[in-house]
């Protein structure tokens, strides 16, 4: 049985109804490795070689935290993923223990660009963010994408500062952390 990352009930039927005929807006599913979700993400950045078992391991890790990770996809009439976007929910102490949403990894297949799929992904993630109670939703983008996000209702905020770790080091640490968390979750209580 194929699993969804979170409940379909959080997907706006109004936004889904505006998609081209035959397209579907839905949560990421466990079978999306085979439907090309990683190929779409490769439009955005380097993805790396992710095997199906590794994809399923990460999917399960995210699914166990389905109050914090919301990844949506757009599937075309042929069953291929043509758009993807993520929303991460941060629990804060400020603003009376408020929640903040962070939109990440918005990507649309090059062959599908110009169909306003990116705007539909952003609006869906903003809708989910509001539905789960976030007091704000933020995203980081390149300068050449500012106008696009302004069309989606965002305003230019503060500066972003970045310090990147070594990919090799990060990958090793992330793998060990994931293995440790999965062992703890599988251990009998």
pLDDT at 188: 63
Q: Which residues pair with 90 in a beta bridge?
A: 100
Distant-in-sequence, close-in-space partners of 54: CB < 8 Å, separation ≥ 6: none
User: What gap in Å lies between CA 70 and CA 66, rounded to an integer?
Assistant: 7
- Residue 8 pLDDT more than 80? yes
- Residue 80 pLDDT more than 60? yes
- Residue 170 pLDDT more than 60? no
Q: What is the DSSP pairing of strand 69-75 with strand 24-27?
A: antiparallel
- Residue 177 pLDDT more than 80? no
Residue 51: exposure state from Cβ atoms within 10 A (0-12, 13-18, ≥19): exposed
Residue in 131, 117, 127, 122 with CA at minimum distance from that of residue 150: 122
Per-residue model confidence as pLDDT tens digits over 147-164: 999 989 999 988 888 888
CATH superfamily of 8-160: Gcn5-related N-acetyltransferase (GNAT) (3.40.630.30)
Where along the chain do its domains lie?
Answer: 8-160
The pTM of this model reads 0.86
């Amino acid at each position: 049985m194929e699993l969804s990352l979170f409940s379909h009930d959080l997907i706006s039927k109004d936004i889904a109804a505006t998609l081209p005929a035959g397209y579907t807006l839905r949560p990421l599913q466990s079978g999306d490795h085979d439907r090309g979700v990683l190929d779409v993400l490769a439009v955005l950045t380097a993805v790396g070689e992710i095997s199906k078992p590794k994809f399923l391991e990460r999917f399960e890790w995210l699914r166990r935290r389905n109050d914090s990770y919301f990844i949506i996809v757009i599937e075309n009439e042929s069953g291929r993923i043509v758009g993807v976007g993520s929303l991460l929910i941060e629990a804060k102490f400020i603003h009376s223990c408020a929640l903040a949403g962070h939109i990440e990894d918005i990507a649309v297949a090059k062959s599908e660009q110009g169909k306003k799929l990116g705007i539909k992904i952003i609006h869906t993630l903003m809708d989910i963010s509001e539905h789960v109670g976030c007091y704000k939703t933020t995203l980081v983008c390149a300068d050449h994408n500012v106008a696009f996000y302004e069309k989606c209702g965002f305003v230019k905020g503060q500066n972003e500062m970045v310090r990147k770790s070594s990919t090799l080091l990060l990958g090793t640490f992330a793998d060990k952390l994931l293995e440790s968390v999965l062992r703890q979750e599988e251990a009998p209580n």
